Amino acid sequence: MRQIIFDTETTGLDPAQGHRIVEIGCVEIVNRTVTGNHLHIYLNPDRDSDPEALAVHGLTTEFLADKPRFSEVTGQFLEFIQGAELIAHNAAFDVKFFNAELARAGHQGIGEYCAQITDSLLHARTLYPGKRNSLDALCDRHGISNAHRTLHGALLDSQLLAEVWLAMTRGQDALLIDVDDASPGGSGGMALGAFDGSVLPVLGATAEELAEHEEYLASLDKAVDGACVWRALDTPATAGA
């Protein structure tokens, strides 16, 4: 199973108002292992970032001026995510920006190039209802150090989210058992016969245990002022009953 943890930094909050992506960060996970394969791209948005956005990511217009535009790296990005499950924190935000950039470059929406898109924020809210579920809060909850995170960065945030995601979903594979599927039925070479209950030992109650049982039934009889229901179970059924 191939998963891509991804994040973006942008010039503002809404692509419908002309805001653009300025940074893409993607981290690859294969079979629940971070592979070290990642994609990290700074982009020239051809506009300034809003002051609020600049305070978050610190990527100035001057720094981004010589970086490629999204249309120049579209193929590289789509090749990296092709066929994978995409996972992002508050995925709807990143997806709307990618869809706007892809449309501008003449491509279909991002959902056409991946297996599925998963929102780790929604998953966290299901696990921890009523609690803070920001990336920083989840790092604290799972003991993941984010001391080096002074500003938001798409690659750094993706790396942290990869650790958080694996921690949040660790129980999903706890019951999996590795077996050798080379043998018929995948039994790891063991011949599994039909279960025979007749070989199980039958342990009867001791005299002391029977006496304690009778004493308990007597107390129930007294409580209901008659014969308790367990007496009927102790009485053998008559023929034809």
Distance (Å, rounded) from C-alpha 130 to C-alpha 132?
7
Encoded tokens for 217: 């039934």
DSSP 139-175: HHHTT---TT-SS--HHHHHHHHHHHHHHHTGGGGTT
Encoded tokens for 71: 């249309």
Q: Which of 40, 123, 142, 152 is catalytic?
A: 152
The answer to whether residue 38 is catalytic is no
What are the two backbone dihedrals, phi and then psi, of residue 26, each rounded to the nearest 5 degrees? -135, 135
DSSP single-letter state for residue 22 = E
Residue numbers annotated as active site: 152
